[in-house]
Amino acid sequence: MSDTPGQKSPGTMSYSKWKSLKLPPDRRRVLSGVQPSGKLHLGNYFGAIRQHIASQDEDAERFIFIADYHSMTTVTDGAQRRALTLDVALDYLALGLDPAKTTFFRQSDVPEVHELAWMLACVTNTGLIEKAHSFKDKIAKGIEPSVGLFTYPILMASDILIYRSNWVPVGDDQVQHLELTRDMAGKFNRAYGEVFPLPQALLVEAGAKVPGTDGQKMSKSYGNTIDIFAEGKALKKSVMGIVTDSTPLEGAKDPTTCTIFALYQLFATQDETDALAAMYRAGGMGYGTAKSMLLEKIDERFGPARERRRELAGNLDYVEGVLRAGAARARAEAEITMGLARKAAGL
């Protein structure tokens, strides 16, 4: 297992390479999870959600779930969890997740995931889990060091293995969890027989680290986010708050070190990006102008999704129906795996 976040491992494939593969029928399942632990932001969008949604039409079978059990490591209010879970459901559906193409469900609607987590815990060395940097990172941020937070990678492995998933699109902060998952699957298979395929992480290159308004990695823990569904005054406030250097308006500016430019690039075409870079280098343009151009891009990209989100929020029965239908499909798959795992383990 690598000790460095994001270090390339045999269980990792770039998303662009993956797209060019012809997947055999038994290697088609793609699964990812998203924690309902706060408002989704541009980092989540470009680093995760976009891939979850955009690749629905490819020759693969998709599972996306809302990791509400996982959120218990940080969110300790039931009503808040329910609201955050609904938020993620609305966000994904508004952004284009098609429930006919993607099995979309709540983690807690498939409680068998805990039964498998126990089986996996019993083939996991404590030393391996102790190496997980996400635990250290989270306690460094002041999150309560509960046993649940410590064993989080085991539940995550169970999320993946219970659907016999082949590909897991994740940000590079999650690559180590995928390595742990492969380790657990391998150990289980060696002990009891081949039950689990070894899943691979699918890594996104573009937008791998979206900067926040202060130039650090965008993260809800740093208070530097631009939320996907922010609009109007609130959105303007976030964008205008992006920290820049103090080059005067008339001075030539360096696009490569500017956060506004880095964000603009994510939305713009190559020609538009080149044009803005030329404006930076020529001088005579203030950062305020670049911020307004970025704002326009954000509105353009997410405007239609905001409308859809409002409609969905007025039709919660439909949303609940989608999650329930997804859970029924997911649970049927989980039951198949559990049948194999129980039999193999002599239970």
Q: Give the nearest distance from C-beta 88 to ligand ADP in angstroms.
A: 10
| The entry of ligand TRP, ligand ADP, none that residue 47 binds, CB within 5 to 8 Å by partner kind | ligand ADP
Of 173, 167, 169, the C-alpha closest to 199 is: 167
- The contact set with ligand ADP (CB under 6 A) reads 35, 43-44, 46-48, 170-171, 173-174, 207-210, 217-221
Beta carbon nearer to ligand TRP, 114 or 308 = 114
DSSP secondary structure letter of residue 103: E
Beta carbon nearer to ligand ADP, 109 or 227 = 227
- Read off φ and ψ for residue 55, nearest 5 degrees: -95, 15
In 15-145, alpha helices (H): 15-19, 42-44, 50-54, 78-95, 112-121, 126-130, 133-140
Beta carbon nearer to ligand TRP, 157 or 285 = 157
Q: Is the dihedral of CA 156, 158, 161, 165 positive or negative?
A: negative
Q: Give the nearest distance from C-beta 66 to ligand ADP in angstroms.
A: 12
138 annotated active-site: yes
Beta carbon nearer to ligand TRP, 86 or 160 = 160
Pair 155, 69: CB distance under 8 Å: yes
220 annotated active-site: yes
Looking up tokens 């650090």, which residue turns up?
216
Beta carbon nearer to ligand ADP, 150 or 192 = 150
DSSP-assigned letters across all residues of 153-221 = HHHHHHHHHTTT-SEEEE-GGGHHHHHHHHHHHHHHHHHH-S--PPPEEEE--TTSS-B-TTSSBP-GG
- The contact set with ligand TRP (CB under 6 A) reads 31-33, 35, 67, 70, 156, 159-160, 168, 170, 174
Give the residue at shortest CB distance from ligand TRP.
Answer: 33
Q: Give the nearest distance from C-beta 173 to ligand TRP in angstroms.
A: 8
| The entry of ligand TRP, ligand ADP, none that residue 209 binds, CB within 5 to 8 Å by partner kind | ligand ADP
Q: Give the nearest distance from C-beta 345 to ligand ADP in angstroms.
A: 31
Pair 319, 312: CB distance under 8 Å: yes
Among candidate residues 138, 253, 291, 297, the one labeled active-site is 138
CA 201 to the chain's CA centroid: 12
| The entry of ligand ADP, ligand TRP, none that residue 146 binds, CB within 5 to 8 Å by partner kind | none
Sheet of 61-66: strand order equals 12-14, 200-203, 167-170, 29-34, 61-66, 102-106
Q: Give the nearest distance from C-beta 11 to ligand TRP in angstroms.
A: 13
Among candidate residues 101, 131, 220, 236, the one labeled active-site is 220
List the catalytic residues. Answer: 138, 217, 220
